[in-house]
Amino acid sequence: MAKRSKVDTCRTIQLILDTSCHQLLTVGYQNMSYTTLSQATQISRTGISHHFPKKTDFLIALEGRFLKLLVDHLTINEGSDALELSWQKALQSKEFTAILRLVFHHSVIRSEACYFSHRLMSNLSKVISSHLGPQAERQVEYLLGVSLVHIARHSQI
């Protein structure tokens, strides 16, 4: 069998990441599997696991994308009131809450050494603080608490 080119490999990885991102945000971490990814991408489970040996590897690879998606929902350059209003509005977004659900899942439920949640929240706090100052870190902590309560109240049982 001929060796795949770097371009083909990059395309394959990008397809896997795009599909895993979509599944993580729509069906959730628990329901995304190598089988569902294989069915959606037409790439074998072995092929997927070659690039992403552990399920948490998808989260690590998508951290930057998730950070951008979170920040895109927020107004971070018009003061703390605008941040809070935009955060409250963002809680109505399935995408925003799906990312936070992933964060909470990996903060509380997952016991394996995956620092996805810590890094993502730390980076979100840094981005916001760079626009609003160091006092914004406390506001982000508060808003994460508000988010946890919101998600708990609106989760399907």
132 and 66 share one domain:
yes
26 and 94 share one domain:
no
Among 53, 72, 95, the domain-final residue is: 53
68 and 144 share one domain:
yes
1 and 28 share one domain:
yes
CATH code for the domain of 27: 1.10.357.10
Inter-residue contact 127 to 73 (CB < 8 Å)? no
Number of structural domains (the chain) is 2
Give residue-wise pLDDT tens across range 63-109: 999 999 999 999 999 999 999 999 999 999 999 999 999 999 888 77
106 and 70 share one domain:
yes
105 and 31 share one domain:
no
Amino acid sitting at position 108: V
Among 16, 31, 53, the domain-final residue is: 53
| Residue 93 belongs to domain spanning | 54-156
92 and 76 share one domain:
yes
d(CA 115, CA 112): 9
18 and 95 share one domain:
no
pLDDT at 157: 44
pLDDT at 64: 97
pLDDT at 155: 74
98 and 27 share one domain:
no
20 and 97 share one domain:
no
Q: What is the 3-state secondary structure (H, E, C) of the chain?
A: CCCCCHHHHHHHHHHHHHHHHHHHHHCCCCCCCHHHHHHHHCCCHHHHHHHCCCCHHHHHHHHHHHHHHHHHCCCCCCCHHHHHHHHHHHCCCHHHHHHHHHHHHHHHHCCCCCCHHHHHHHHHHHHHHHHHCCCHHHHHHHHHHHHHHHHHHHCCC
Given a cut of 60, whether residue 2 has pLDDT beyond it is no
123 and 69 share one domain:
yes
Alpha-carbon distances, residue 122 vs 94, 127, 132, 152 (angstroms): 22, 9, 15, 22
Radius of gyration of the chain (CA): 17
d(CA 87, CA 85): 5
Inter-residue contact 65 to 117 (CB < 8 Å)? no
Give residue-wise pLDDT tens across range 21-60: 999 999 999 999 999 999 999 999 999 999 999 999 999 9
84 and 136 share one domain:
yes
